[in-house]
Chains A and B, each alone.
Chain A
Amino acid sequence: MKPAPFDLTLAESLPQALAALAAEGAKPVSGGCSLGPMLNLRLARPSALVDLRRVGALRTLEGSKTHLDIGAGWTHAEIEDGVVPDVTAGLMRRVAHGIAYRAVRNRGTIGGSLAHADPAADWISTLTALDARLLIRSAAGARECAMGDFMLAAYTTSLASGEVLAAVRVPVLSAGARAGYHKICRKTGEFAQAIGAVVLDGPRGFARVVAGAVEAPPLVLAAASDALRAGDAAKAARLAAEEVDAAFAGQAESFRALHRVAVERALDEVRS
């Protein structure tokens, strides 16, 4: 299958990209790892594409003591390789290493993955566990958005037409912070069937337990997170299982079982 016809703008700057995206039916594209196949299958039929890969403003790194702003155009491979500095106790490098295959990681970008909002993709769950924030630009200006307010449903985000995801604001974890990530998939490189993502940052008083790849935005397991923050990992594991069962009561038992296991094994990594 080959795509239906579309116009292509190779944007060189953010203003140029935003202007091009103002056109009716225009869609942004960066790595094209998900959009490319959808174009070829003619499931996505934008009248115009705006290629963001040449936009320098999306390839910035700006840090402070508390956070690092990672431009949306950085690739998974650049995160994996440490070209993008890691402030997450190694979690982001490890997650990047487990995304699909190297060929995909070489092209796919963190911003593209987030904006696509495939519930089974890695960054949505990981950055939810990290409590990252998203920096969004439009011709009208800039806004900031919490992860929990960004993804509304599978493949649906709060990005309005004419808005571009510009950067991800990742909190700098304390020394000694721990993270766990467990992904269950049928084979290496496939999208996840279940994700467990856990961050425990004692000095900052932060803990979060997330069940991802749930066909919807990732689920923050609040009770388990509280227990983990309070230092009771065993209780966190028990509560996590209960929360998964309650949240997905309408799903098949095998669905719940995989998510219980993923979260439990991610928690194990934080405990051990």
Chain B
Amino acid sequence: MAVDQAEAAVKGEGIGARVRRKEDARHLMGRGRFAGDIRMPGMSDVAFLRSPVAHARIISVTKPQGHEGEIFTSADAAAVGDIITRSTIPGYKLSAYPPLARDKVRFVGDIVAMAYAPTRAEAEDLCEAVTFDYEELPVIVDCDQGREAGAALLHEAWGDNLFLETSFDSGGMEEVARTAPVRVQKRFRTGRQCMHPMEGKGLVAWWDFQANMLVVNTSTQVPHMIRTGLSETLGLPEGQIRIAPPDVGGGFGYKCLLQPEEVLVAWLAMTLKRPFRWIEDRREHLTAGANAREHEYVITAYADARGKLLGLDAEVAVNVGAYSVWPFTACLEAAQAGGNLPGPYIWPVYRCKTYSVATNKPPFAPYRGVARPGVCFAMELTIDAIAAAVGREAVDVRAENLVPGSAMPYTNITKKYYDSGDYPASLATAREMIGFDAVRARQAAGESDGRLIGVGFSTYTEQSAHGTKVFASWGTPLVPGYEQATIRINPDGSADVRAGIHTIGQGLETTLAQMASEILTLPVAQIRVILGDTATTPFSTGAYASRGIVMAGGAVSRTAEKLAEKVKKLAAHLLQCAPSDIRFDSGVIHGLNGSTTFAEVARAWYTTPEVLPDGVDTGGLEVTEGYKPQVDTGVFSYATHAAVVAVDPRTGATEILDYVVVEDCGRMVNPMIVEGQAYGGVAQGIGTALFEESTYDAEGQPLASTLIDYLLPGPTELPKVRVAHTETLSPFSAHGIKGVGEGGAIAPAGAVVNAMNDALKGLGASLTEIPATPERVLAALSDAKGRSAA
């Protein structure tokens, strides 16, 4: 059907428009197509027998008689390669992660056997019938244990439990330590978490006899990388693997990894040439997927008498679990932690040691914000501690330590290149919006219900869309280059945009259409965005690191520009003018005398080519182009969050009374989606701050294995978040856009816990650990009481 372009009112659907999300119609009606919605004739369900112990030597895995063909152990899957994640960082130790455990199990949830059956329940029956004999080994659950001399070893060949140890030293720390008027030392700890996308991991794998290839419909953020990873582990050429991801119900980093289940189910389909499905359940996620956020900090900060930072000496230990994830390694977190600790602040002397400690917990993965939620929490509480030490308002001390707008672009002490922004301005706006002076007045008056009020701030930078040189310096399997997009004008004048990044709920079907609309002026309804399928989209390393709109958006913009040139050349033939005289407006193509439409140009090219002269541009109406920003160092979004809380000193309960976000992600492609990212990120950050923790006992047994024990914040726990935007364009990216996917999750723990500490300061209590549960609040109050009594 030809599209009626005369009706199309497209003004305002390009960059900056609050276009409603194209994908929401199907999702709101329950008509999305997720891995769990896929049904195929003859499909079997897969279940996994997982290790019930955290560390053991495998003695035997015995299948029940009569079911040998439906159950698989590492011996059966000997052809499946280990997941091994290389890196060129000096001192980095490789771990071999066998998708089916071989010789040893290294965490509760490690896969011991795999079974398939017509239903999941029957597959679980088979798993139950397997006999798993093992000899338990000493368990490492925390970083201190892992680093002790003589500790049990996760990977015996290493000689210790350190994936990597790094150190940064600007020089001059001894001098600062000797002369600084103020010294503050703090220990911080951030709890281990699960990411909890609404849809867990899941996939269907099958053999396409027509194409003679393996097809994997996997819920992933990085389909093209998964093809590479499966090729490496299965020994099947990439050309014979198609990753066709269905709808993905959230990723947050959990789905940017090659997962052992993905390898094994794909192997079954490749080997048995039949469809197989695995859908992760919430218990599997809570135990085998408890893979994020657990950091420990010792920070010694030095400042002058007004709280201006003179130096910071830090030790960071990350509890990275048993194996290195592919492709991001076990060391990304600690590298990011050390590099991002300075965040938006300036100080002259910095020393930081990081330890990536192997433990008997699930392999660590990069969760929304990657290290920065922990780093931001530690840094923001340090700022408040310095302010307390010098007897000033933390918000003032914070403002004086931020990189000033006049210093931009600014290269910080860890060589991060901050491209643009005005950090103090965002803090000042947040202070104003949260009503700082009014909160102080209310505090002075006291609360009739006996609760204590506090206000806290947290400012961060978010390095987004870091590129080739950054990743190449780590030597990981993933190094993003030029992001590509393909755009085709269809015979009806509509456009197909294809990109290899995948949609995981972040609205790319809409925002990439807006990027194309900005150039082509077609309404977004006439721009179909096709994502992720390796058979139909150009290569992309995928959706991670807040890179989607910067990289894929930039690629679509660049490609649309090239395509526009081609459209203009063909239109020039039809309108009898020069291509340079052609302009687009609201989807209509204007020449000097008269106008035409994309549909007419397309018709000329595809179905009435006789109207075109000889010597026409033979490139047609389809273009693929690559793009990356002018710098590989990333474009830096930033924000200040401010929170007002009420703490009940009798129960330890905390309520967030008000919450403000003042954010800057450069040019906003769709402000509604930017706000959605802020709301969702803040919700997760509040989970980090107050609720979520994957607790373990001394034997490495996960204690939070259901959602009764692992608390996620719900609507009643979340405040109405007020968001304000500023737009400081990046000088280095197309349209000045910066990434915004992760930011919301970075700052809440800092803002909320600083507010709690502000509330509790009169009682002498201070929290240094998240989640800041009622138990921890009561413990801090009891400690304070004990101190004052002593």
User: A residues bordering B, Cβ < 8 Å?
Assistant: 1-5, 37, 41-42, 184, 186-191, 253-254, 257-258, 261
Contact = CB atoms under 8 A, between A and B. Distances in A.
B717 interface: yes
A184 B653 contact: yes
Contact of B124 (A1, A37, A190, A258): A1
A257 B778 contact: yes
Interface residues of B, number: 26
B272 interface: no
Interface in B670-716: 691, 706, 708, 711, 713-714, 716
Contacts of B774: 186
A261 B650 contact: yes
Contacts of B651: 184, 257-258, 261
Interface in B106-129: 119-121, 124-125, 128
B711 A187 contact: yes
B468 to A, nearest CB: 44
A257 B773 CA distance: 15
B716 A188 contact: yes
B286 to A, nearest CB: 11
Nearest to A185: B653
Nearest to A258: B651
A186 B714 contact: no
Contacts of B782: 253-254
B775 interface: yes
A76 B713 CA distance: 23
A1 B650 contact: no
B775 A187 contact: no
B650 A257 contact: yes
Nearest 4 interchain pairs by C-beta:
A2-B121, A188-B716, A254-B778, A261-B650
B283 interface: yes
Contact of A4 (B125, B281, B716): B125
Contacts of A261: 650-651
Contacts of A4: 121, 125, 128
Contacts of A253: 782
A5 B121 CA distance: 8
Nearest to B716: A188
Contacts of A189: 714, 716
B125 A187 contact: no
Contacts, number: 50
A235 to B, nearest CB: 20
29 contacts: A1-B124, A2-B119, A2-B121, A3-B121, A4-B121, A4-B125, A4-B128, A37-B706, A41-B706, A42-B124, A42-B128, A184-B651, A184-B653, A187-B713, A187-B714, A187-B716, A187-B717, A188-B716, A188-B717, A189-B714, A190-B708, A191-B708, A254-B652, A254-B778, A254-B782, A257-B650, A257-B651, A257-B778, A258-B651
Nearest to B121: A2
B769 to A, nearest CB: 15
B781 to A, nearest CB: 10
A3 B773 CA distance: 33
A16 B685 CA distance: 52
B97 to A, nearest CB: 24
B283 A41 contact: yes
A46 to B, nearest CB: 15
Contacts of B773: 186
Contacts of A254: 652, 775, 778-779, 782
B691 to A, nearest CB: 7
B708 A1 contact: no
Given A2-B119, A2-B120, A42-B124, 4 more contacts: A2-B124, A37-B706, A186-B774, A191-B708
Contacts of B652: 254
A5 B125 contact: yes
A189 B691 CA distance: 14
Contact of A187 (B691, B706, B779): B691
A24 B348 CA distance: 76
Contacts of B120: 2
A240 B650 CA distance: 16
B48 to A, nearest CB: 11
Contacts of B124: 1-2, 42
Contacts of B779: 254
A5 B650 CA distance: 47
Q: Which of A2, A41, A261 has the most CB of B within 10 A?
A: A2
A228 B143 CA distance: 53
Contacts of B121: 2-5
Interface in B281-338: 281, 283
B708 to A, nearest CB: 7
A188 B775 CA distance: 17
B478 to A, nearest CB: 33
A98 to B, nearest CB: 11
A188 B480 CA distance: 43
A4 B714 CA distance: 31
A261 B650 CA distance: 7
Nearest to A262: B651
Nearest to B782: A253
B377 to A, nearest CB: 20
Given A37-B706, A188-B717, A257-B778, A1 B281 contact: yes
